[in-house]
Structure 1
Amino acid sequence: MLKENINDLLSFLVVAQESSFTKAAAKLGVSQSALSHSIRGLEERLNLRLLNRTTRSVSLTEAGDRLRQTLSPRIEEIEEELDALNEEQNGPSGSIRISAPEYAAQNILWPVLEKFLVQYPDIRVEVNIENSFTDIVAERYDAGIRLGEQVAKDMIAVRISPDLKMAVVGTPSYFSNREIPLIPEDLHQHRCINLRPSTAGGVYAWEFEKENRNINVRGEGQLIFNTTTQSLKASLAGFGVSYAPENLIKGYVKEGKLISVLEDWCPTFPGFHLYYPSRKQHKKAFALLIDALRYKGA
């Protein structure tokens, strides 16, 4: 029975992961009708309905969810063992999936990958830019990247960056007819370019601290973005002050394009970490990437 079902079971897993026949068919390289026929045949042989289908969505039945939970880890184990055998024969290979916020992907992950992928041409890396908190286990990522304070305690975390210091910046022309803010509360007199992270419904409150005094400020302005990159671009265009990682703005400050203010109030956050489930055994390719990303500073 397994022989006649194995391909259909693999197809079922992809549909379950994608929650869509359209996306699953594209991933498998088959037509939607062929995929639907395959799943229908599997359900008939098992005498079980595995999927709830509507014109707009696909969801798992209770039996389908049980089958997914049983199959998924076993298929992953088989894939990992095949990768391991291939590595022994041909060197490091395989695929690595990582979820990362925009800033970390651009400024920490990519500079390492640019050299790493040249050194290991048989390793494939998929990076999904996600500023929200993704369940890397449920979404079948090998790892995620987040600030140290955001990593769950049940995960293994590897530091991949120094601590992150924030900055408040605006252009010289913006400040030419406005008073420089000396304390965080002065920002209420300025046009603040705000952030609304995907992880929260509200506008992000800018965090400040000095001499054991903590202040959160929600300023007003014309613009709200969900990425720091866009906020910084608006600030460079003269639309107001933005709150961004110091690493992103220091070049502009050095060139005189931006002025950094409230420096003695801007806090430092724990640096970015690569994190992954403690119970999962990873292949050699993943271990090599961890070593390449590991922060080796003081």
Structure 2
Amino acid sequence: MLRENLTDLLNFATVAREGSFTRAATRLGVTQSALSHAVNGLEGRLGLQLLNRSTRSVTPTAAGEHLLRVVGPQFEGLEADLAALTELRDKPAGTVRITASEHAAEMVLWPVLERLLPDYPDINVEVVSHDGLTNIVAERFDAGVRLGEEVEKDMVAVRIGPAMRMAVVGSPAYLDTRPAPERPEDLTAHRCINLRRLTRGGNFPWEFEKAGVGLDVRVEGQVALTSLHLARGAALAGVGLAYLPDDQVLADVEAGRLVRVLGDWCDPFPGYHLYYPSRRQASPAFAVLVEALRYRG
């Protein structure tokens, strides 16, 4: 009985607001005859006439006006609550875990997250900085960030940054003490600032390429660090030559604080890509993040 009354009350309120059985039937998705029968049934159960019917219009009676004032706001509030629930369902929420190098996290991930997260307060992002090639499935990450050439073939790869270049730089004061290297082999005569790999051990090799010819050089020096920022600081202090991403030192080179050498041996290479298993079912939160990170340059 309650379900029938609720349905018929909604039918009545819709007819009263629309002022027409035809328009109300269209709005409710029912036939006009079914709608008329439902309202007649409600009037019969209440023992009251709720609507004045004419060939031109339908208007509430005094009893109908009273009933509309009572039930109208209730249905409006219910509709608003249902709309809010729908918005909550469709609003991306949840936690996304990403592993990335310190450089990728700082230069690519964070600028996007800084703009995105205020618009999505129900999305939580955990970024774990790591210099190793993490097994994201085993470590329960949703995605990882690697250079394009390092992404495994069975992964979905989404480009999230421009092509990159490395830069070999030293301070003017340091380069005043010895000739600038003209070829990678000349680095053996220089003090070099190594970057240490915590997870895989050893130092990062200095990789060069010119005219399609690649060359890896193991360099020596007094200092080995695990931070790009510290390596840049050491170069600025005149400790030796550093091998760093171009975007880390561009401002210093332009300002004359650092001098770039071996520039013709540092060709661009594919930049950062977000990668994740091809079988992964993307959650709304993850889909929003991927789309925001996608590089469109």
Partner of 1:205: 205
SS at match of 1:193: strand
How many Å apart are 1:143 and its aligned residue? 0.6
How many Å apart are 1:234 and its aligned residue? 1.2
Partner of 2:241: 241
Using the TM superposition, name which of 224-233 and 188-197 deviates more: 224-233
How many Å apart are 1:165 and its aligned residue? 0.6
RMSD of equivalent CA atoms? 1.7
Separation of aligned partners in 2, 1:121 and 1:173 = 49
Separation of aligned partners in 1, 2:249 and 2:218 = 21
> Deviations 1:237-258 (Å, cap 9, x if unpaired)?
2110000111111011111111
Separation of aligned partners in 2, 1:226 and 1:268 = 23
1:117 paired with 2:117, answer yes
**Are 1:86 and 1:93, in contact at CA under 8 Å, matched by a contact in 2?**
no
> Deviations 1:82-122 (Å, cap 9, x if unpaired)?
xxx98753612111111111000000000000010011111
Separation of aligned partners in 1, 2:156 and 2:212 = 31
**Are 1:196 and 1:224, in contact at CA under 8 Å, matched by a contact in 2?**
yes
Separation of aligned partners in 1, 2:87 and 2:288 = 12
> Deviations 1:130-173 (Å, cap 9, x if unpaired)?
11111111111111111111111111110001111111000111
How many residues are matched?
213
Q: Pick closer, same or farther for the CA change 1:254–1:95 going to 2, 3 Å.
A: same
Alignment-mate amino acid for residue 149 of structure 2 = E
Alignment-mate amino acid for residue 157 of structure 2 = A
Q: Pick closer, same or farther for the CA change 1:182–1:96 going to 2, 3 Å.
A: same
- Correspondence list, 1:1-298, <5 A: 89=89, 91-297=91-297
SS at match of 2:263: coil
How many Å apart are 1:201 and its aligned residue? 2.6
**Are 1:98 and 1:143, in contact at CA under 8 Å, matched by a contact in 2?**
yes
How many Å apart are 1:212 and its aligned residue? 3.1
SS at match of 1:131: coil
Alignment-mate amino acid for residue 186 of structure 1 = D
- Report percent identity of matched pairs: 54
How many Å apart are 1:202 and its aligned residue? 2.7
Using the TM superposition, name which of 283-292 and 210-219 deviates more: 210-219
SS at match of 2:92: coil
Using the TM superposition, name which of 86-95 and 116-125 deviates more: 86-95
> Deviations 1:51-94 (Å, cap 9, x if unpaired)?
xxxxxxxxxxxxxxxxxxxxxxxxxxxxxxxxxx9875361211
**Are 1:160 and 1:293, in contact at CA under 8 Å, matched by a contact in 2?**
yes
Structure 1 residues without counterparts, runs of 5 or longer: 1-84
SS at match of 2:95: strand
**Are 1:236 and 1:258, in contact at CA under 8 Å, matched by a contact in 2?**
yes
**Are 1:87 and 1:93, in contact at CA under 8 Å, matched by a contact in 2?**
no
Return the TM-score normalized by structure 2: 0.68
How many Å apart are 1:289 and its aligned residue? 0.7
Q: Pick closer, same or farther for the CA change 1:121–1:211 going to 2, 3 Å.
A: same
How many Å apart are 1:205 and its aligned residue? 2.1
Alignment-mate amino acid for residue 125 of structure 2 = V
SS at match of 2:221: coil
Using the TM superposition, name which of 134-143 and 101-110 deviates more: 134-143
Separation of aligned partners in 2, 1:126 and 1:132 = 17
SS at match of 2:166: strand
Alignment-mate amino acid for residue 198 of structure 1 = L
Alignment-mate amino acid for residue 264 of structure 1 = D
Structure 2 residues without counterparts, runs of 5 or longer: 1-84
**Are 1:193 and 1:239, in contact at CA under 8 Å, matched by a contact in 2?**
yes
Separation of aligned partners in 1, 2:87 and 2:99 = 24
SS at match of 2:264: coil
Separation of aligned partners in 2, 1:92 and 1:149 = 31
SS at match of 1:116: helix
